């Protein structure tokens, strides 16, 4: 997921009336067209593969303007790639699967997309929330280890050619498996509220950190951890070229700091929404499919540090999977 730094000030004002109860609605219907479902899709399909659509030009232009990347084009997966998508979709736990089926109205693959995927929230004619899912077709081409190595390296710029970052996951699965799980977590979070709010523009007076089992004791605010879990570099990085990068010479220090915190990845340490998506994804993939994840920091191929989040006691003690299991929603 990427949280856009939107320049649409009106959205930041209007979206503060959101409730995080199931099926939250908006009292104010003066939303910009980009936040209305008809801008993206005229109808919603129950079958997952029918949600994969050619990206309308108006949507491409919207994304190009936001990201400042005018190389975006629509990509149409072939039958083999659609079969892969369908197979990975079936791997999702039932709650995530049914949430995507019910609440995602369109799935767009964008060539040259800056990121693996993004989930955005929009509103239907009744002002009920639904989601748009954007995916980078590179996740259909690169295996999981290749994709996550690319992602984790995208946080850094090379100021020392001797330092390497290698992320070990699986070469049997494609990068799609991680991105689909991760973005499905965002869909679920947007609609059913595992975190107090998924992006700052959705904050309301009803958002309560103290009563939230997932964030309480770990986060003070959306992107602010409790002091014990702050570490160098956590709050001033980005990924996929969407912001500032960190010198790769600092990778050892940063990952050592990360290892003392209860987060599944550096990407997940950015804010509580990414924390949930990353923690649930990696823990579930490990538990259900034995897909592990570790990050090696090397100097001329000599291992300096090996971060194994699935062995991180602080992360495991958070019981992320149980918090998700306890979340009570009506999925029809």
Residue for token digits 């009803």? Answer: 206
Question: Is residue 2 assigned to a domain?
Answer: no
Three-state secondary structure readout of 229-297: HCCCCCCCCCCCCCCCCEEHHHHHHHHHHHHCCCCCCCHHHCCHHHHHHHHHHHHHHHHHHCCCCEEEE
Residue for token digits 């800056």? Answer: 114
Question: Is residue 332 assigned to a domain?
Answer: no
Question: Is residue 280 assigned to a domain?
Answer: yes
Question: Is residue 66 assigned to a domain?
Answer: yes
pLDDT reported for residue 239: 85
pLDDT along the chain (332 residues), means of 10: 40 33 46 91 82 96 94 98 98 96 96 96 92 98 98 96 96 98 97 93 80 94 96 87 89 97 97 98 98 97 96 96 83 46
pLDDT reported for residue 328: 65
pLDDT reported for residue 173: 98
Question: Is residue 4 assigned to a domain?
Answer: no
Structural domain including 279 reads 9-326
pLDDT reported for residue 45: 80
The pair of structure tokens assigned to 294 is 């570790």
pLDDT reported for residue 19: 32
Question: Is residue 318 assigned to a domain?
Answer: yes
CB hemisphere CA count around 307 (13 angstroms): 25
Question: Domain count of the chain?
Answer: 1
Question: Is residue 46 assigned to a domain?
Answer: yes
Question: Is residue 183 assigned to a domain?
Answer: yes
């Amino acid at each position: 997921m990427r949280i856009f730094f939107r320049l649409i000030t009106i959205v930041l004002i209007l979206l503060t009336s959101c409730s995080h109860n199931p099926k939250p609605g908006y009292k104010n219907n003066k939303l910009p067209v980009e936040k209305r479902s008809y801008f993206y899709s005229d109808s919603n399909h129950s079958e997952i593969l029918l949600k994969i659509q050619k990206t309308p030009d108006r949507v491409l232009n919207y994304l190009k303007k936001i990201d400042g990347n005018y190389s975006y084009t629509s990509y149409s997966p072939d039958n083999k790639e659609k079969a892969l998508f369908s197979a990975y979709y079936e791997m999702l736990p039932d709650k995530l699967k049914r949430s995507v089926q019910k609440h995602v109205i369109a799935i767009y693959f964008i060539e040259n997309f800056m990121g693996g995927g993004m989930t955005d929230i929009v509103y239907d004619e009744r002002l009920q929330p639904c989601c748009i899912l954007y995916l980078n077709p590179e996740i259909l081409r690169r295996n999981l280890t290749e994709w996550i190595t690319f992602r984790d390296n995208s946080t850094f710029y090379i100021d020392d050619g001797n330092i390497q970052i290698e992320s070990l996951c699986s070469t049997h699965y494609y990068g799609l498996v991680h991105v689909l799980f991760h973005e499905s977590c965002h869909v679920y979070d947007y609609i059913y509220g595992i975190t107090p709010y998924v992006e700052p523009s959705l904050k309301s007076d009803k958002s309560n950190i103290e009563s939230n089992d997932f964030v309480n004791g770990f986060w003070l605010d959306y992107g602010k951890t409790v002091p014990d879990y702050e570490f160098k570099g956590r709050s001033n990085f980005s990924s996929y070229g969407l912001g500032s990068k960190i010198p790769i010479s600092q990778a050892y220090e940063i990952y050592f700091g990360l290892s003392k915190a209860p987060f599944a990845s550096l990407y997940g340490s950015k804010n509580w929404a990414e924390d949930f998506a990353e923690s649930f994804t990696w823990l579930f993939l490990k538990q259900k499919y034995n897909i592990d994840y570790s990050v090696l920091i090397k100097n001329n191929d000599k291992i300096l540090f090996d971060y194994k989040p699935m062995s991180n006691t602080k992360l495991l003690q958070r019981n992320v999977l149980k918090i998700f299991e306890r979340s009570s929603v009506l999925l029809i």
